[in-house]
Amino acid sequence: MNIVEVISKELNIHAWQTETVMRLLDEGNTIPFIARYRKEATGGLDDGKLRDLETRLTYLKGLEERRTAILASVEEQGKLTDALKKEIEEAATLTRLEDLYLPFRPKRRTRAMIAKEKGLEPLAGFLKKHPEASAQQEASRYVDPGKGIPDPETAIRMAEDIIAEELSEDAKMRAWIREKTVRSGLLTSKRAVNRAGSVPAARDRESVYENYYDYAESIGKIPGHRILALNRGEKEKYLSVGIEAPAEEILSYMENRTRAGSSPYLKDAVRDAYKRLIAPSVETQIRRELTEKAEDGAMKVFAGNLAQLLMQPPIDGKTVLGWDPAFRTGCKLAVVDETGKVLATDVIYPTAPHEKIRESEETLHRLCEKYGIDLISLGNGTASRESEKVIADFIRKEHSSLKYVIVNEAGASVYSAGKLAAEEFPSLDVGLRSAASIARRLQDPLAELVKIDPCAIGVGQYQHDMDQARLSKTLQAVVEDCVNRAGVDLNTASAPLLSYISGITRSTAENIVSYREANGRFVQRRDLKKVKGLGPKAFEQCAGFLRIRGGKEILDMTGIHPESYEAARALLKELGFTGEDIAEGRTRGIASAAAKRGIPQLASATGLGEYTLRDVIRELEKPGRDPRREIAPPILRSDILRMEDLTPGMELQGTVRNIVDFGAFVDIGVHQDGLVHISELADGFVKHPLDVVKVGDIVKVKVLSADPSRKRISLTMKL
Cα gap 408→377, rounded to integer Å:
10
pLDDT band at 271 (very low <50, low <70, confident <90, very high): very high
What band does 376 get if pLDDT is binned at 50, 70 and 90?
Answer: very high
pLDDT tens digits, one per residue of 609-645: 999 999 999 999 999 888 888 777 787 778 777 788 8
Among 7-21, 267-281, 665-679, the least confident range: 665-679
- Residue 314 lies inside a defined structural domain of this protein: no
Cα(97)–Cα(530) distance, integer angstroms: 51
- Can you give the CATH number for the domain in which 649 is found? 2.40.50.140
- Both 142 and 289 in one domain: the answer is yes
Domain of 54, CATH number, reads: 1.10.10.650
Residue 35, judged by CB atoms within 10 A of its CB (0-12, 13-18, 19+), counts as: buried
CB atoms within 10 A of CB 167: 22
Write down the mean pLDDT value for the chain: 92
Q: Are residues 76 and 115 in the same domain?
A: no
460 occurs within a structural domain: no
Q: Is residue 315 part of a domain?
A: no
Specify burial of residue 580 (Cβ count, 10 A radius: 0-12, 13-18, 19+). Answer: exposed
Instruction: State the DSSP H helix or E strand holding residue 4, giving kind and residue range, or none if neither.
Output: helix 3-11
Shared domain for 257 and 242, answered yes or no, is yes
pLDDT in tens, 533-558: 999 999 999 999 999 999 999 999 99
Please count the CA atoms within 13 angstroms of the CA of 276 that sit on its side-chain side. Answer: 17
pLDDT, position 198: 65
- Are both 618 and 652 inside the same structural domain? no
Answer whether residue 637 is part of any domain. no
The pLDDT of 216-232, averaged and rounded, is 92
Question: Is 57 part of a structural domain of the chain?
Answer: yes
Q: pTM for this one?
A: 0.83
Residues 12 and 100 in one domain: yes
Residue 261 pLDDT more than 80? no
Do the domain assignments include residue 310?
A: no
For residue 309, what are the CA distances in angstroms to 50, 296, 303, 379, 445? 22, 20, 10, 15, 8
Same domain, yes or no: 73 and 214 = no
At residue 636, the pLDDT reads 79
**SS3 of 187, please?**
strand
- Look at residue 219 and tell me whether its pLDDT is greater than 80: yes
Which one has a higher pLDDT value, 278 or 628? 278
From residue 715, how far is each of 118, 149, 656 by CA, in Å?
71, 72, 12
Q: How long, in residues, is the chain?
A: 719
Are 539 and 611 within one domain?
yes
Between CA 307 and CA 627 the distance in angstroms is 13
pLDDT of 631 reads 76
Spatial CA neighbour of 587 closest among 570, 602, 572, 597: 572
Which strand (E) or helix (H) includes residue 191? strand 186-191
* CATH code where residue 544 lies: 1.10.150.310
Helix (H) or strand (E) holding 468: helix 468-486
Identify the pLDDT of residue 203: 57
* Greatest Cα pair distance in the chain: 104
**Are the beta carbons of 668 and 715 closer than 8 angstroms?**
yes
CA separation for the pair 567, 559 (Å, rounded): 14
CA dist 33 and 24 (Å) reads 10
Domain count, the chain: 5
pLDDT value at residue 205: 53
Q: Which of 222-231, 364-373, 589-598, 649-658 has the lowest mean pLDDT?
A: 649-658
Give the count of alpha carbons within 13 A of 114, CB side only.
Answer: 13
Q: Are 127 and 246 within one domain? A: yes
* DSSP H helical ranges for 111-263: 111-117, 121-129, 135-140, 152-168, 171-184, 224-235, 247-258
**pLDDT at position 461, please?**
64
CB 309 within 8 A of CB 302: no
pLDDT band at 717 (very low <50, low <70, confident <90, very high): very high
Distances (CA, A) of 687 to 223, 306, 666, 678, 682: 12, 20, 19, 8, 11
Radius of gyration over every alpha carbon of the chain, rounded to an integer in angstroms: 33
- DSSP annotation of 134 reads -
- The answer as to whether 470 is a domain residue is no
The domain boundary residue, chosen from 414, 443, 472: 443
Q: Which amino acid is at 326?
A: A
Residue 54 pLDDT exceeds 70? yes
Predicted confidence (pLDDT) per residue in 436-471, tens digit: 999 999 999 999 999 988 888 766 667 777 888 888
Q: Which domain holds residue 168?
A: 111-296
pLDDT of residue 414: 87
Alpha helices in 77-118 (DSSP H): 82-90, 94-101, 111-117
Edge to edge, the sheet with strand 239-244 lists 214-218, 186-191, 239-244
Residue 635 forms part of a structural domain: no
Distance CA 280, CA 70 (A): 24
The residue-averaged pLDDT of 247-262 equals: 91
Q: Is the pLDDT of residue 671 over 80?
A: no
Share of the chain above pLDDT 70, in %: 97
Contact 664, 300 (CB under 8 A): no
Helix axes 264-272, 152-168, angle to 10 degrees: 50
Are residue 236 and residue 360 in the same domain, yes or no?
no
E-assigned strand segments in 438-595? 488-489, 546-547
Q: Give 562-572 pLDDT, tens digit per residue.
A: 999 999 999 99
Distance linking the first and last C-alpha atoms of the chain = 53
Query: Which 3 state secondary structure label does DSSP give 409?
Result: coil
* Portion of the chain with pLDDT greater than 90, in percent: 74
Pair 334, 410 in one domain: yes
Residue 464: predicted pLDDT: 76
Same domain, 217 and 279: yes
Three-class secondary structure of residue 150 per DSSP: coil
The dihedral sign for the CA sequence 582, 586, 589, 593:
negative
- What CATH number does residue 270 fall under? 1.10.3500.10
Asked if 518 and 410 sit in the same domain, the reply is no
pLDDT band at 131 (very low <50, low <70, confident <90, very high): low
pLDDT score for 135? 86
β-bridge pairing 403-407 and 375-379: parallel
Q: What is the pLDDT of residue 43?
A: 97
State the pLDDT confidence band at 497, using cuts at 50, 70 and 90: very high
| pLDDT at residue 411 greater than cutoff 90 | no
Of residues 415, 419, 465, 460, the one with CA closest to residue 436: 415
**DSSP secondary structure code for residue 80 in this structure:** -
